[in-house]
Amino acid sequence: MSPSKEDYLKCIYELGKQQAKVSNKLIAHDMDVSAPATTGMIKKLLAERLIEKNVQKGYVVTALGLQKVSQVIRKHRLIEVFLIQQLGYSLTEVHNEAEILEHSVSNHFINQLDKLLGYPKTCPHGGKIPREDEVLKEDHLPLNKVEPGYYYIRRLHYSQELVEFLDAYNITTGSKIEVIEHNDFAKMTTLIFEDKRYDFSDVVCSKIFVETI
């Protein structure tokens, strides 16, 4: 599978975790490419049965597509662990570097890297690292879709902007928060972290994945 197809497949997988419906427009925006280019790639992925179109959810990754994307994500997340643990990269630096390297290394290299690192279970952003040939399963819900209550932050979307935004509040994976309410009109979520009250937009909250305490 070409690097471009892998990137689109990852994008559709991630958007499916964040959005109620994944459209051409959302994919094009997230990939930072033109609408015609996105349409062309979607046609290829549909033809190869890596994705399908669902009336309610838009474009979704198929079982075959999930097998493929699981191994791409495995490469990406193991490389991120290596860059931070062995080379001293920061959390804001690792994603873009891993994006380049994941398309250049073999499965054998990744398996050896996994062994070297001691078979880590999660990446620096909190995402699960699937084992070789394992289909990725992530059940954590985005912050803007949960009921009021107490939660642990378990995974962050890999975007540098999100990491930098949350870093200003000292919020990261493992942080304990209380969700107070959602304002559907303003598209904001009110939460409490370390006795301070914050209002975060749906854009931010859709990229923060949590687990009930």
Tens-place pLDDT, residues 90-134: 998 999 999 999 999 999 999 999 999 999 999 999 999 999 999
| Structure confidence by residue, pLDDT tens digits, 46-86 | 999 999 999 999 999 999 999 999 999 999 999 999 999 99
Does residue 135 carry a pLDDT above 90?
Answer: yes
**pLDDT value at position 159?**
85
d(CA 18, CA 55): 17
Question: 143 with 208: CB under 8 angstroms?
Answer: yes
Taking the C-alpha atoms of residue 12 and residue 182, their distance in angstroms, rounded to an integer, is 26
CA distances to 62, 79, 168 from 132, rounded to whole Å, are 19, 14, 36
Q: Which domains does the chain have, with CATH numbers?
A: 3-61 (1.10.10.10), 141-212 (2.30.30.90)
144 DSSP assignment: G
Query: pLDDT tens digit string along 140-166?
Result: 999 999 999 999 999 999 888 999 999
Contacts 24+ apart (CB under 8 A), 46-55: 50/5, 50/9, 51/9, 51/12
Residue range 8-37: average pLDDT?
95
Q: What was the pLDDT predicted at 151?
A: 98
Per-residue confidence band for 1, with pLDDT thresholds at 50, 70 and 90: confident
CA distance 93 to 18: 23
Phi-psi region of 90 (alpha: psi -120 to 50; beta: other; left: phi over 0): beta
